[in-house]
Amino acid sequence: MTAPLAALAVHYWKLCAAFDRELGFMNADRAQAGEAQLRFARRKLDTILAESGLRIATYDGAPFTAEIPASPVNAEDIADGASAIVEATIEPTVTGPEGVLVAGKILLKEA
């Protein structure tokens, strides 16, 4: 049961991220209402996942290391030996008691 929930959580997270980007195009009143709905939706996702022992992890701004359970989609853009940081989480990692259920996807930039 946890694998389907983890997959659904990734899609829900991506939908929330897309909605968050669209808030910038709304008038102030609509954006304020949208932000409140988005906060509620994200809290709901975290609560539902926690009840199943799952957690979503994002890495925006973190130094990139091999321990991050996410695949960089642009690793070839980073010079060999250069330090990198996570510019954006494209898809989150979902973890549970047994470890990583869904590995994330990240975008890197040179530090």
Whole-number average pLDDT of the chain:
96
Q: What is the mean predicted confidence (pLDDT) over 54-68? A: 97
Instruction: Tell me: pLDDT of 1 over 90.
Output: no
Q: pLDDT (tens digit, 9 = 90+) per residue, 65-102?
A: 999 999 999 999 999 989 999 999 999 999 999 999 99
Q: Is 79 exposed, middle or buried (0-12, 13-18, 19+ CB in 10 A)?
A: exposed
Tokens of 16: 């929330």
Return the pLDDT at 92.
98
Q: Is 19 exposed, middle or buried (0-12, 13-18, 19+ CB in 10 A)?
A: middle
Return the pLDDT at 81.
87
Return the pLDDT at 36.
98
